[in-house]
Amino acid sequence: RVLGLVLAFGLAAAAPNPVSAQSETPRHGGTLVFAIGANPETLNPAVTTGVEAIGVACKMFNGLIYLDRDWNPQPELARAWTVSRDGLRITFSLQPNVRWHDGQPFTSADVKFTMEEVLAKFHPRTRLAFANVEGVDAPDPLTVVVRFKKVYAPFLHQMTCQEAAILPKHLYQGTEILKNPRNSDSPVGTGPFKWGRWVR
């Protein structure tokens, strides 16, 4: 108990002052050190729930939304969404001018492909959600419509990177998704960090 109290006191004393931390001006550049317990089994967050993989890959990839600290959906690759009155349709309006790290434009075709060909088939948890989906439409480059067979309330909350990372169609279409070399080397995402190198 004494050791626990000393450790707790030491951590509290070492914690940064929240007021001063909030007033710092953001700086570009530098190094992020992120501790994980093992080498990730994949760098493709759309096919795994592995903690190490998600922890690393979701710095390079995005979902349509992210959840804030109160678990409310916030815009990420989708800038807005509407749910039909009957709950059988969600229409996502995508962010304009987003590019993959290789310079290719991000469009609704990437979302449709990822939902139908990757998440619905390979993601350990999210594929169960897609059992409720009747179809995914991409009527224009910045709109995605998900049509449901029956109301499925958790769907929007599952559209995070951790549960539904969006992949680049131009690098995955026509390949064996689980064997695509981008899963273990040189992943291309839309996230804030680009691939550098992996020293195992």
Q: What are phi and psi of 164, to 5 degrees?
A: -160, 55
Q: What are phi and psi of 152, to 5 degrees?
A: -135, 90
The pLDDT score that the predictor gives to residue 16 is: 52
Torsion of CA 40, 45, 49, 52, to 10 degrees: 30
Backbone φ/ψ region at 174: left (φ over 0), alpha (ψ -120 to 50), beta: left
The pLDDT score that the predictor gives to residue 81 is: 98
From 16-30, 63-77, 126-140, 175-189, the region with the lowest mean pLDDT: 16-30
Instruction: Report CA 29 to chain centroid distance, whole Å.
Output: 22
Q: Highest mean pLDDT range out of 18-22, 37-41, 165-169?
A: 165-169
The pLDDT score that the predictor gives to residue 12 is: 47
Q: How confident is the model at residue 6 (pLDDT cuts 50, 70, 90)?
A: very low
Burial 105-134 (b: 16+ CB within 10 A, else e): ebbbebbbbbbebbbbeebeebeebbeebe
Q: What amino acid occupies position 115?
A: M
Spatial distance between the Cα atoms of 136 and 48, rounded to a whole number of angstroms = 22
pLDDT mean over 20-46: 82
Give 80-93 pLDDT, tens digit per residue.
999 999 999 999 99
Question: What average pLDDT does the chain have?
Answer: 89
- Residue 158, class by beta-carbon neighbours within 10 Å (0-12 exposed, 13-18 middle, 19+ buried)? buried
Torsion of CA 142, 103, 199, 26, to 10 degrees: -70
- 170: Cβ contacts below 8 Å, ≥ 6 apart: 100, 104
Assess whether pLDDT exceeds 70 at residue 8. no
Q: How confident is the model at residue 17 (pLDDT cuts 50, 70, 90)?
A: low
From 20-29, 134-143, 160-169, the region with the lowest mean pLDDT: 20-29
Give 85-117 pLDDT, tens digit per residue.
999 999 999 999 999 999 999 999 999 999 999
Q: Are 143 and 93 in contact (CB under 8 A)?
A: yes
From 8-12, 39-43, 89-93, 122-126, the region with the lowest mean pLDDT: 8-12
First to last CA, the chain: 38
DSSP 104: P
